[in-house]
């Protein structure tokens, strides 16, 4: 324990990085019961001031409706007003959606359903938190793709066509819950700013009347587009259908024609009629045929069926399947694509041969996570073999260790790169989504390449266009955090307050890049340990669990007194022969005072190679935090729902909860602009 009469940190010449907590206080703050009397008093004072400001600004009318005003530019800022009766009640859904239809559970489950009422889910789960309009309005993101309202889930058929990036997605045009699924459609020049187009396909045929579900686009050598998608028939049979643009000369691809001979594929013998979905982008074989895979299962073995076709209408089922893994259950949204052994550019989906490896990815219906593995593709046999069976699909590496599902890649021929989209669901209550009028968003599009240093990992990184949103920045060099310290990273001068709205946004739309180093001499002194660490272990207590060499990292979307905080951090274990094993984690257990949201602890081990510093990049956009460790070797996406650490109350801290080693950090923080996302004009 430290000397309470002396600061634990002194950064010469930089008063903006002064310590505020010593090792005893940080441990207490990380364990602190939420809703202390002091916190309640501060919340009451803040709430009173906020209500007075609303009244003076005309933000509260006689009907009892609170109106959250937009920044100048209106919808461009992505925080449009929400109008709801003040204090209206919320209730959780009593019935789940999805499974009965033979698809993945798409409803937002209560914490009890998600966690079984286990540790980390909060207390008092039978009661709903009294959300107000200000809190709910804050949750809407500013630079992540979302429709204007209602429910969205899986990304569908992304492609680059005649100068436009096209993004299709599962969409409910009628409500903020799963159901009535059709295809939404938006276009962009840069993957950042989006224009909403009319619905691309609706459920208007017997073969898709119960849902126009997930599909993929294939661009033929002559430039024509073929779109295969799953439809749920009037008898709930999953079938594959073909659609194509009515006018291939139309760069916006506004109108789509469903093939008159649909469905083009039905479940083969031995496959259940509700276990046959999500066709991939096709790739060309050496014989000139087109080949696709479709997700399924046999008993508890997840499989990828494989088909060949000449015309996308007539298909031949190949013997066996591309790959399968026992015990992994239903494979949804299967993806299959090549990566260059040398790294660098992405590859067209049909690339094969020397210098090429192949990735198989599956979204597991049983646990709602996306797993991938790298291996070898045998075209003649129609088989794929993992490089390391111990980390095969579904039992090894995940794209993302947080909330990220039903992902899909496409080859961007304009920039020779492979881009990954992923659905980021809500982990609050469905009732809250209904109240705010929308649910779900898409992650920032990511480039995907092979990690040439490990050979077993992919590197995911936000597309370079994301940097165009960066505005002003602030840099903090060589910030020292001794064991037990929490250091504020002040993003504006101490005399400035959140009087203007752009200062509020400075604290909740951020791009953060940090490099951290442990004190080498301290690491050398630490004795070897046989500790079995796991980020999500109930015994770990998240960022409050103190080890010799961790945890250390950043507290984002934190309230001044740390009553709400979301730590994103590294944890290092020194094992036999002085080998260091590193874990990358995100702790949501203290992210919100609300008791009706999911607050899990995520993470996994991450390779940190000799000579590498601990590196992380974080995109913070209101209620989403995307964290990329070691250049994208490991990624964690978090959805957080703070009640106090919002608007101008949000803070950023460096913390070190290790017991034996100090940390030195260099941090650069950019304010991020809002993306322009609105309807296409004059349509």
Alpha helices in 125-252 (DSSP H): 133-138
Instruction: Please give the torsion angle defined by the CA atoms of residues 603, 335, 458 and 162, in that order, rounded to the nearest 10 degrees.
Output: -120
Q: Based on the residue annotation, tell me whether 428 is a catalytic residue of this protein.
A: no
Q: Beta strands 150-161 and 438-439: pairing type? A: parallel
Paired tokens of 661: 């080693």
Token pair, residue 393, equals 């699909």
| Residue owning tokens 């961007």 | 412
Cβ atoms of 117 and 81 closer than 8 Å: no
Class of residue 266 by CB neighbours under 10 A (exposed 0-12, middle 13-18, buried 19+): middle
Sign of the Cα torsion 261, 214, 449, 379 reads: negative
Map residue 28 onto helix, strand or coil. Answer: helix
The H or E element spanning position 25 is helix 23-31
Label residues 330-342 b or e (16+ Cβ within 10 Å = b). bbbbbbbbbbbee
- Cα dist from 11 to 8, 53, 553, whole Å: 10, 37, 18
Q: How many CB atoms lie within 10 A of CB 299?
A: 7
Instruction: Pick the catalytic residue from 154, 278, 392, 428.
Output: 154
Per the CB < 8 A criterion, the answer to whether 429 and 110 are in contact is yes
Cα separation, 541 vs 416, whole angstroms: 43
d(CA 200, CA 183): 5
Positions marked active-site: 154
């Amino acid at each position: 324990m430290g000397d309470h009469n002396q600061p634990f940190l002194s950064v010469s010449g930089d008063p903006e990085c002064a310590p505020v907590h010593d090792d005893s206080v940080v441990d207490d703050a990380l364990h602190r019961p939420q809703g202390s009397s002091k916190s309640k008093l501060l919340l009451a004072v803040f709430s009173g001031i906020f209500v007075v400001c609303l009244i003076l600004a005309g933000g509260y009318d006689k009907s009892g409706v609170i109106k959250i005003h937009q920044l100048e530019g209106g919808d461009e800022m992505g925080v449009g007003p929400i109008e709801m009766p003040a204090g209206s009640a919320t209730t959780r859904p009593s019935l789940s959606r999805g499974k009965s239809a033979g698809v993945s559970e798409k409803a937002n489950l209560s914490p009890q359903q998600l966690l079984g009422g286990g540790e980390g889910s909060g207390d008092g789960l039978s009661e709903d938190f009294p959300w107000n309009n200000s809190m709910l309005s804050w949750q809407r993101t500013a630079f992540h793709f979302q429709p204007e309202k209602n429910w969205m889930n899986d990304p569908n058929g992304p492609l680059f066509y005649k100068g436009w990036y096209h993004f299709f997605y599962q969409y409910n045009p009628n409500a903020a819950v799963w159901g009535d699924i059709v295809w939404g459609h938006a276009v962009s020049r840069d993957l950042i700013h989006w224009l909403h187009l009319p619905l691309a396909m609706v459920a208007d045929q017997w073969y898709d009347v119960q849902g126009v579900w997930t599909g993929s686009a294939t661009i033929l050598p002559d430039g024509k587009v073929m779109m295969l998608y799953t439809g749920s028939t009037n008898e709930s049979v999953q079938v594959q259908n073909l659609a194509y643009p009515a006018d291939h000369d139309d760069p916006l691809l506004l109108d789509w024609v469903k093939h008159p001979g649909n469905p083009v594929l039905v479940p083969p013998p031995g496959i259940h009629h509700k276990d046959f979905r999500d066709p991939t982008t096709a790739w060309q074989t050496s014989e000139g045929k087109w080949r696709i895979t479709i997700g399924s299962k046999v008993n508890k073995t997840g499989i990828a069926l494989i088909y060949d076709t000449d015309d996308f209408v007539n298909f031949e089922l190949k013997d066996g399947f591309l790959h399968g893994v026992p015990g992994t259950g239903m494979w949804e949204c299967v993806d299959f694509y090549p990566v260059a052994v040398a790294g660098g550019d992405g590859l067209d989906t049909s690339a094969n041969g020397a210098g090429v490896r192949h990735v198989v990815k599956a979204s597991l219906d049983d646990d709602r996570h996306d797993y991938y593995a790298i291996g070898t593709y045998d075209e003649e046999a129609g088989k794929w073999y993992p490089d390391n069976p111990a980390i095969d699909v579904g039992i090894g590496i995940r794209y993302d260790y947080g909330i990220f599902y039903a992902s899909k890649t496409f080859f961007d021929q304009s920039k020779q790169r492979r881009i990954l989209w992923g659905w980021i669901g809500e982990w609050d209550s469905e009732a809250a989504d209904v109240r705010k009028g929308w649910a779900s968003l898409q992650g920032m599009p990511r480039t995907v390449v092979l990690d040439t240093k490990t050979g077993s990992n992919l590197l995911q990184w936000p597309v370079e266009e994301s940097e165009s949103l960066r505005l002003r920045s602030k840099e903090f060099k060589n910030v020292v955090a001794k064991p037990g310290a929490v250091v504020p990273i002040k993003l504006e001068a101490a005399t400035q307050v959140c009087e203007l709205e752009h200062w509020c946004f400075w604290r909740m739309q951020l791009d953060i890049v940090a490099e951290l180093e442990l004190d080498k001499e301290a690491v050398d002194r630490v004795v070897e340990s046989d500790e079995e660490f796991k980020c999500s272990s109930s015994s770990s207590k998240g960022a409050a669990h103190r080890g010799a060499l961790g945890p250390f990292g950043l507290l984002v979307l934190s309230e001044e007194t740390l009553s709400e905080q979301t730590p994103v951090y590294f944890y290092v274990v020194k094992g036999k022969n002085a080998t260091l094993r590193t874990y990358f984690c995100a702790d949501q257990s203290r992210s919100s005072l609300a008791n009706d949201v999911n607050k899990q602890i995520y993470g996994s081990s991450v390779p940190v190679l000799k000579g590498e510093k601990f590196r992380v990049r974080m995109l913070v956009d209101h209620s989403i935090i995307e964290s990329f460790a070691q250049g994208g070797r490991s990624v964690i996406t978090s959805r957080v729902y703070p009640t106090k650490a919002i608007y101008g109350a949000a803070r950023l801290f460096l913390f070190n909860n290790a017991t034996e080693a100090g940390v030195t950090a260099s941090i650069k923080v950019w304010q991020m602009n809002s993306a322009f996302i609105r309807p296409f004009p004059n349509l």
